Amino acid sequence: MKDCYLGVDIGSISTKGVIIDDDNNIIAKEYIWTEGNPVNAVRKLIKILKDNLPQNHQIKGIGTTGSARKLIGLMLKANIVKNEITAHAVGTLTYYPNVRTILEIGGQDSKIILIKNGIITNYAMNTLCAAGTGSFLSSQAKRLGLKPEEFGKYALKSKNPVKIAARCTVFAESDLVHKAQVGYPKEDIIAGLCKSVVLNYLNNVGKGKKIEAPIIFQGGVSKNEGVVKYFKEVLNEDIIVDENSHLMGAIGIAVLARKNKIGKTYSLKLEDITFDTKATECNRCANNCELLKIYRNNELVDSWGSKCGKF
């Protein structure tokens, strides 16, 4: 039997999973939509990965990252749970040990990670606003009658991108509608949106950060050729986009699962496992804490939200 390791990155928009071997080769990978239900998304993801896993392989470590990492970590009994910054850095350094800057734009968040000599020296994430993220671009593509995967190709056709105010989704949509109504070509509007995403990112997430090459762009938006083009143009640097740039968080947490293995063999059979969450309110004191109780096979395995620590 050959040992392998599972990494799962659960985001608000998408859920990613990879299985790697001891040499960090990817054996299986998948990218699906979370659809507001991380538990069901992970069930679906694991089934796909399991079906693509050769029979002579066994899972010896599981890691989770992303916004629902703690919940899914309990569900899968993961041996390591880490934040996205660490996972993305580890995944990138595994294949690009000389990287200095990681630009990442996902479905609803974005981040920048600065690295020197293989160590994270600084990082930043966007605020609560999703302007300039993948969900923002997807909604604008739909408004213009395009599929999200067509967005970047249209941007490359433009010779004169229009200015779009993308610092706020409301203003951006209003600006986009106005530009379309007065007759600007569709490709110029799309190119303007892609460029505004880059400028918004650099003026907010990247503000005050020294961006040095080698620069790697990852996350779902890295597949948008228009955004990549304008990052290159504005930064005047080459931008590396890996084939698996959208999976780098899952790769990184899989690598950490391998490094932190505990000798246990994991099963990916989730069909017979029930996993439920129940929200309650504690009335024992004036805090009135909202408690989230986590049940695995009807057994209470954890509880979150207690300010006093009793639960």
Q: What domains are there in the chain, each with its CATH number? A: 2-90+250-259 (3.30.420.40), 97-241 (3.30.420.40), 275-304 (no CATH)
pLDDT of residue 143: 76
Q: Reply yes or no on whether the pLDDT at 303 is more than 90.
A: no
Quick: pLDDT tens for 209-236. Answer: 999 999 999 988 898 898 999 999 999 9
pLDDT band, very low/low/confident/very high, at 82 (cuts 50, 70, 90): very high
pLDDT band, very low/low/confident/very high, at 247 (cuts 50, 70, 90): very high
Q: Which has the minimum average pLDDT: 59-73, 95-109, 202-216, 288-302?
A: 288-302
* Cα(25)–Cα(16) distance, integer angstroms: 16
Q: Which has the minimum average pLDDT: 245-254, 260-269, 286-295?
A: 286-295
pLDDT band, very low/low/confident/very high, at 26 (cuts 50, 70, 90): very high
Quick: pLDDT tens for 99-152. Answer: 999 999 887 788 999 999 999 999 998 865 666 677 777 777 777 777 777 777
pLDDT of residue 236: 95
pLDDT band, very low/low/confident/very high, at 170 (cuts 50, 70, 90): low
* Cα(253)–Cα(10) distance, integer angstroms: 11
Q: Reply yes or no on whether the pLDDT at 166 is more than 70.
A: no
Residue indicated by tokens 């300010």: 307
Q: Reply yes or no on whether the pLDDT at 270 is more than 70.
A: yes
Long-range contacts of 92-99 (CB under 8 A, 24+ apart): 92/216, 92/218, 92/248, 92/252, 93/118, 94/24, 94/251, 94/252, 94/255, 95/24, 95/242, 96/214, 96/216, 96/240, 96/242, 98/214, 99/214, 99/215, 99/216
Q: Which has the minimum average pLDDT: 37-51, 89-103, 132-146?
A: 132-146
pLDDT of residue 311: 64
